[in-house]
Amino acid sequence: MLHRLPLALALLPLFAPGLDEVSIEHRAGLTYEMRMTRTMSMRLGEASMRVDGVEYPESLVRGASPDRDDVETVVLRDEVREVSDGRPVRVAREFAELGIRRTVADETTEHAGALEGMTLVIARGAEGGVEARLEDGAEETVDDAYLAGHAIEHDVWRFLPAEPVEPGDSWSPDDDAVKALLLTPGPQYYGTDRIAELPVLLAEAAEIEAVVTLLDRVTLDDVECHRLELRVEMRADLTRIPGEFASGDLAPEGTVRVESLHRGELWIAAERRFPRRFEVESTWNLGVEMDLSQDGAEVRVEMDFTAKNTSAREWEILD
């Protein structure tokens, strides 16, 4: 009888009351829709400019850095064609809706994504990389730049616990998971002429503190879900000015100080083991100091920016 005790003790955690396995599981043939709305607002705070040591009116800096507001809508429909250990290795993704509305100062423009209405087959290669191509028989053609940067599964799975947990338990996701969520540019939808440089530099230099907590079980749209909270603080001191802050062919020298705070909530369907909703709010504070030479004059510019982002995603299983 005593020789059975070690096995019994090893099995105890599996039956411990209150522990939940919070996970996401795909199956071949699964089809689902993910709807996402993202917003971004950028505001200039304090600003100054000196030319050869002479202070210039702040209005000159503000005129070159107007307020900006973006609203983006993305609707994706995935058909999971192949899985391994509950994770997808091949999906067909329809880009049902891709659109962004951008307001700079008082001018608003709207753009549709180049992939809107198309279907890509996205597959994981033998070495773990991801490749995307147009569905066989597609009549459309698309620039290869639009086929890069796609993820075969949505990034929320990287924030789940590695073992069963109970409400109140916390764990730390790895830095790569945070970077994939907050910094990785992802696929290009609206143009191929310029790629944001600031996220790339931040991914190299950022110090990240992140924690995920299982809050409780809740009912969301008649579905019992695990509710998780994500909190992230990020800091970086860049010694190179990103292209987003440069003007024309000028190559200024200087620094960018970045501090950001992010809070999100994630709902995972307990029985179906699939995400239902993910909401994130972010605040970014940036301090920019630039020195450049223009027409023989030495120019010094100092600016503080505040940017606020929101992202809201909802998943619906279609079959």
DSSP one-letter code for 236? E
Which spans in 151-243 are helix H? Answer: 175-182, 198-205
- Which residue do the tokens 């075969």 mark? 152
- Which residue do the tokens 């924030």 mark? 159
Residue 3: which pLDDT band, with cuts at 50, 70 and 90? very low
Using CA atoms, how far residue 239 sits from 46, 62, 292, 300, in Å, is: 21, 23, 14, 16
d(CA 98, CA 234): 29
Considering the chain, what is the average pLDDT of its residues?
88
- Which residue do the tokens 């504070």 mark? 285
d(CA 271, CA 217): 12
Residue 6: which pLDDT band, with cuts at 50, 70 and 90? very low
* Tokens coding 111: 């753009």
SS3 assignment, position 201: helix
Residue 7: which pLDDT band, with cuts at 50, 70 and 90? very low
SS3 assignment, position 12: helix
Instruction: Classify 280 in phi/psi space as left (phi over 0), alpha (psi -120 to 50) or beta.
Output: beta
Please state which of the ranges 49-63, 167-181, 214-228 shows the lowest mean pLDDT: 49-63
Q: What is the pTM of this model?
A: 0.87
Residue 56: which pLDDT band, with cuts at 50, 70 and 90? confident
Q: CB-based contacts of 187: which residues, under 8 Å, 6+ apart?
A: 115, 146, 148, 149, 150
Q: What is the mean pLDDT of residues 164-176?
A: 95
Cα 19 vs. chain centroid, distance in angstroms? 29
Res 61 pLDDT > 70? yes
Asked whether the beta carbons of 210 and 181 are under 8 A apart, the reply is no
Percent with pLDDT over 90 in the chain: 64
Res 15 pLDDT > 80? no
* Tokens coding 131: 């490749």
**DSSP string covering 51-95:** ETTEEE-HHHHHHHS--EEEEEEEEEEEEEEEEETTEEEEEEEEE
56-53-284-232 Cα dihedral, nearest 10 degrees: -170
Radius of gyration of the chain (CA): 23
Residue 17: which pLDDT band, with cuts at 50, 70 and 90? very low
Q: Where are the strands (E) in 239-296, listed by range?
A: 253-269, 274-294
Domain ranges for the chain = 22-317
Per residue in 197-255, pLDDT tens? 888 899 999 999 999 999 999 999 999 999 999 999 999 999 988 887 776 666 788 99
Per residue in 106-147, pLDDT tens? 899 999 999 999 999 999 987 778 999 998 887 788 899 999
Nearest CA to 40 among 315, 260, 276, 197? 260
- Which residue do the tokens 């147009």 mark? 134
Q: What is the pLDDT of residue 11?
A: 42
Q: What is the mean pLDDT of residues 270-290?
A: 95
d(CA 144, CA 50): 44
d(CA 204, CA 82): 34
Residue 49: which pLDDT band, with cuts at 50, 70 and 90? confident
